[in-house]
Amino acid sequence: MTDVSSSVSADGRVPDSPFLQTLFHSDQGGHEQVVLCQDRASGLKAVIAIHSTALGPALGGTRFHAYASDEEAVMDALNLARGMSYKNAMAGLGLGGGKAVIIGDPETMKTEELLLAYGRFVASLGGRYVTACDVGTYVQDMDVIARVNKWTTGRSPENGGCGDSSVLTSYGVFQGMRAAARHRWGTPSLAGRTVGVAGVGKVGHYLVDHLISDGADVVVTDVREESIARVLAAHPKVRVAASTDDLIRLPLDVYAPCALGGALSDETVPALTAKIVCGAANNQLAHPGVEKDLADRGILYAPDYVVNAGGVIQVADELHGFSMDRARAKASLIYDTTLEIFAKADADGIPPAVAADRIAEQRMSEAKQA
């Protein structure tokens, strides 16, 4: 047995860990429930974080990742769950926000036994948490997890699932971009506009399809040659920039970050030529305050979690028996939501990212009071 007496201070108090500080004491907290899950037989160690069920069951994916420490895993689950509350609130899904992480290297640890053990923990929450794919988990994993609970989305079409969620993610980003164009230039059309897409993976390459259909002039960049080759095979006239650094300095009307988080930083914002930023990547603002730098430079930023909600809209539809038509109709509302955010930002004299947060918080607090 481990002796814990050394962590008790002279006055008999056990100091809070960073995650307990976050959970119970900071503005970033406010989570309803955090579940630590362990199944020694399969090696499962997981964290399910439910940030809010004010608007409905907490939906968010399961990340399978080799974290540097268990504490880092808990913090990631807390942050991601909170983000899902805001995304789901803005998407008008009648769902709250949650997220789970499975701790370990999916390459070596992922087994059917482990996924089933995890699925039983999801079941134990009786529908308070609904899971889906995230980094390190795939449609076929959701099919396994769904065998032991009713609260798993992101399954394969053969199992009643919606398949590849990047289809509606890209469609939603396109709708957000049309709204931004309307707000900025008075027309939603992107015809004749130059749009730079950084990252043409699952979402980015579908986004290029939408942009080309609308008549935009598209420039792309990606670190993977296969990704670029796929775009060029479909659209030979698309131009290619050597790097994201090069792309953002070209004369662009719109910049669409569709690769990793942190695309908008103290280094990149001063270099942007685009008048609109609207892309699929999660957590584009490298730190709080960047949204103000963008506004100060006159750049219209369409908040990431608002415009990339098409994917969660697509998987959430599985809860009603999946219909692509219904899900697409819901994703098209991202256009109206984005316009509403810009209008509030203008009216209140705040950046759109702050306006989006305020609307999401208001929706959650009104639902709690009802």
Ligand X SMILES: NC(=O)c1ccc[n+]([C@@H]2O[C@H](COP(=O)([O-])OP(=O)(O)OC[C@H]3O[C@@H](n4cnc5c(N)ncnc54)[C@H](O)[C@@H]3O)[C@@H](O)[C@H]2O)c1
**Residues lying near ligand X in the complex (CB under 6 A):** 165-166, 169, 198-204, 221-224, 227, 244, 258-260, 280-282, 308, 311
At 47, which helix (H) or strand (E)?
strand 44-52
DSSP line for 75-111: HHHHHHHHHHHHHHHHHT-S-EEEEEEEES-HHHH--
Identify residue 76 by its one-letter amino acid code: D
Residue nearest to ligand X (CB): 201
For ligand X, the closer of residues 119 and 199 by Cβ is 199
130 contacts 90 by C-beta, under 8 angstroms: no
275 is catalytic: no
- Ligand-binding annotation for 254, yes or no, is no
Residue 201, marked binder: yes
Name the minimum Å distance from CB 16 to ligand X. Answer: 31
Shortest Å, Cβ 321 to ligand X:
20
The answer to whether the annotation marks 12 as part of a ligand binding site is no
CA distance 162 to 290: 35
> How many Å separate Cα 344 from the centre of its chain?
22
Helices (H), the chain: 18-25, 70-91, 106-109, 112-124, 139-145, 166-185, 202-213, 225-234, 244-249, 290-296, 304-307, 310-316, 324-332, 334-348, 352-369
Give the residue with the Cβ less far from ligand X, 198 or 238: 198
Question: Which residues are paired to 50 by β-bridges?
Answer: 33, 98
> Which residue is associated with the tokens 């709708």?
175
104 is in an annotated binding site: no
Minimum CB–partner distance for residue 292 and ligand X (Å): 22
Q: Least CB distance from residue 145 to ligand X, whole Å?
A: 18
Instruction: Considering the complex, state which of residue 120 and residue 202 has its C-beta at the smaller distance from ligand X.
Output: 202
Among 320, 317, 338, residue whose Cα is nearest residue 328: 317
- Looking at 87, 99, 110, 330, which residue is catalytic? 99
Is position 218 annotated in a ligand binding site? Answer: no
The residue (of 61 and 351) whose beta carbon lies closer to ligand X is 61
Residues annotated within the binding site for NAD(+) are: 199-204
Catalytic residues: 99
Residues annotated within the binding site are: 199-204
